[in-house]
């Protein structure tokens, strides 16, 4: 008995002390995109994505996103340490994690908390790469993680799939982007349209 107890204590302690080792049941794991979906149910894979350390990997079965945007809001600038965030929106059921669900880390910017609650940012707990924003109904994936191929030619063709529809929160921009795309001062459809220089149109 003593041996079994010490083994169990050891396992408990190692799981508790290393977030990368946690295997406990959590309800979000039984929902898309985290739940394991069989190849038969998922169908043909259109895109593969992985974090920097490759511990976290996911796939997408739908070719084109529902929408793609650059977000210039302050939260995106700070949390991505970048002038703006590039996101592509998919239904959660079109995305499945194939590796690293137990290596995921969450951050709710609304609550400033690492407790899982949607909407949440999803990170790799090992390399800290941002993986996606999980909304209440959609996944906002970051196309930078998608495998766009090896050659420049493949890159040029494949990146077009994720070409943005518009910019949002352009009034908070750090850089101007002269791409002629629609630019909303705040949320798309619910704020003013601006030109490339940020002037009202």
Chain residues that interact with Zn ion, rule: CB under 5 A: 51, 53, 55, 71, 73, 76, 124, 126-127
**Structure tokens that stand for 126 in this block:** 């090992």
Place of tokens 């929902």: 31
Nearer to Zn ion, 6 or 23 (CB): 23
Query: In the complex, what is the shortest distance from the CB of residue 128 to Zn ion, in angstroms, rounded to a whole number?
Result: 7
103: how many CB neighbours lie within 10 A of its CB? Answer: 21
Query: In the complex, what is the shortest distance from the CB of residue 110 to Zn ion, in angstroms, rounded to a whole number?
Result: 13
Query: In the complex, what is the shortest distance from the CB of residue 71 to Zn ion, in angstroms, rounded to a whole number?
Result: 3
Query: In the complex, what is the shortest distance from the CB of residue 76 to Zn ion, in angstroms, rounded to a whole number?
Result: 3
Query: In the complex, what is the shortest distance from the CB of residue 153 to Zn ion, in angstroms, rounded to a whole number?
Result: 28
Distance CA 142, CA 184 (A): 20
Determine the distance from the C-alpha atom of residue 148 to the mean position of all C-alpha atoms in its chain, rounded to a whole number. 16
Nearer to Zn ion, 124 or 194 (CB): 124
**127, 115, 169, 141: which is closest to 49 by C-alpha?**
141
Nearer to Zn ion, 39 or 179 (CB): 179
Query: In the complex, what is the shortest distance from the CB of residue 191 to Zn ion, in angstroms, rounded to a whole number?
Result: 13
**Structure tokens that stand for 115 in this block:** 């407790």
Nearer to Zn ion, 43 or 189 (CB): 189
**42, 109, 43: which is closest to 77 by C-alpha?**
109
- Those residues whose C-beta lies under 8 Å from the C-beta of residue 42, and which sit 6 or more positions away, are 59, 61, 96
Are the beta carbons of 177 and 70 closer than 8 angstroms? yes
Place of tokens 């880390």: 105
**176, 126, 187: which is closest to 195 by C-alpha?**
176
Nearer to Zn ion, 13 or 114 (CB): 114
């Amino acid at each position: 008995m003593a041996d079994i107890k010490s083994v169990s204590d050891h396992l408990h302690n190692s799981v508790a002390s290393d977030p990368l080792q946690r295997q406990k049941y959590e309800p979000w794991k039984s929902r898309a995109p985290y739940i394991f979906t069989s190849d038969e149910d998922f169908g043909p894979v259109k895109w593969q994505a992985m974090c920097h350390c490759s511990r976290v990997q996911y796939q997408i079965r739908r070719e084109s996103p529902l929408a793609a945007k650059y977000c210039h809001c302050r939260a995106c600038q700070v949390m991505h340490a970048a002038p703006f965030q590039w996101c592509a929106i998919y239904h959660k059921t079109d995305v499945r994690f194939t590796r690293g669900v137990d290596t995921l880390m969450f951050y709710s910017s609304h609550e400033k908390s690492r407790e899982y609650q949607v909407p949440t940012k999803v990170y790799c707990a090992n390399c800290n790469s941002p993986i996606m924003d999980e909304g209440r109904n959609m996944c906002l994936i970051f196309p930078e993680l998608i495998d766009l191929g090896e050659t420049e030619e493949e890159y040029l063709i494949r990146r077009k799939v994720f070409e943005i529809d518009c910019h949002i929160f352009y009034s908070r921009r750090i850089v101007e982007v002269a791409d002629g795309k629609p630019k909303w001062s705040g949320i798309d459809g619910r704020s003013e349209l601006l030109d490339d220089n940020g002037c009202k149109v």
